[in-house]
Amino acid sequence: MMVKKTIESFNTNCNEILESNDSMLNKASKGIILCNQTLSNLKEIVDKRDFNTVPEEIDFFKNNKPIPMSLLIFFTEVRSCELRMPKAGTTYKVQFLQKELRKINKFFYKNADFVHYMEQGYSYLDHQFFTRNHRNNFPFTPMTDYYQFPEFSTAQDMLWAKVKAMYRFIHYIRQALKRLKVDDAEIFEEKKHKVIVWTGPKTALTELIYALFSNGAINHGAADINLITASFEDFFNIKLDNIYKTYSEIKARKSSKTKFLEELTLNLQQKMARDDID
């Protein structure tokens, strides 16, 4: 229960940092502090309580710790990128960002088997990957400025966190290229949705976002709420203020908690029925 509250608090505070008007460098610096504090809090909880069962341990290192850990890696990469970015010349900046993309692709290629295992939702190696009994098999050497304690690490929880972080980092690089007004069609497929606007209630879109998140349908389950929300805001030209608060209000509904999703299902079923008649 304490782990859940810690993660919920982290998500709220992290979202506030990401949505602030600070520069990316300041966001990264604040984010690094928040992530380190959260990881320290989680480590203290684990040190005091540990786990009653192996499935609990696997769940923590597979699904909980990687949340702040992935953001720590993301913020660290962003900070490094912002500091190393060429100060002048669009061409030099674009070349720098393209080099970062090549590094990301190389990382995914090097760890293709593990990424495939995680993205397919397999679990038959979880005991080896996400319990501390097998941390001696740890094949991934993190950067020295990433947070790590041997007694608070498993064979692959850091690697899984980095996979999740790199998906977010790709989004950051894409946004950086957009700010440079670069025609990046060869890197990212050109958008086709310039006039698409979300005209339904924001609570409905929040339902949809959380449904996709809980189903693991975006980036093979590696995308978190913040990334999915940012992508939907970009796609539908809408600003979702404090999505966590909206989600809490949805959960507190006395009537149906998934009203919009149920309407979607009903409307689609009705359309299919009409199509069959026609």
What's the pLDDT tens digit per position in 241-276?
A: 788 888 888 888 888 888 889 989 988 888 888 888
What is the arithmetic mean of pLDDT over 134-148? 49
Instruction: Say how far apart CA 270 and CA 277 lie, in whole Å.
Output: 11
Tell me the pLDDT band of 49, cut-offs 50, 70 and 90: confident
Burial (CB < 10 A; 0-12, 13-18, 19+), residue 76, is buried
Taking alpha carbons only, the member of 206, 217, 197 closest to residue 260 is: 206
- Sorted by sequence, the CB contacts under 8 Å of residue 165 that are 6+ apart come out as 70, 71, 72, 73, 74, 77
Give the distance from CA 274 to its chain's centroid: 39
Higher pLDDT, 149 or 63: 63
pLDDT above 90 as % of the chain: 9
Q: Where are the domains of the chain?
A: 1-184, 191-278
As a whole number of angstroms, the distance between CA 185 and CA 178 comes to: 11
Q: What is the pLDDT of residues 185-203, one digit of tens each?
A: 544 444 444 457 787 888 8
- What does pTM read for this prediction? 0.66
**In this structure, are residues 175 and 77 in contact, taking their beta carbons and an 8 Å threshold?**
no
User: What is the band of 139 on the pLDDT scale with cuts at 50, 70, 90?
Assistant: very low
pLDDT tens per residue, range 59-96: 888 888 888 899 999 999 999 988 888 887 788 888 88
Q: Output the average pLDDT for the chain.
A: 81
When pLDDT is cut at 50, 70 and 90, the band that residue 34 belongs to is very high
Structure tokens at 153: 């690490």
CB contact at 8 A, 38 and 70:
no
Amino acid at 239: K
Structure tokens at 87: 């100060």
Of 1-5, 36-40, 206-210, 218-222, the least confident? 218-222
pLDDT for 143 equals 44
d(CA 80, CA 82): 6
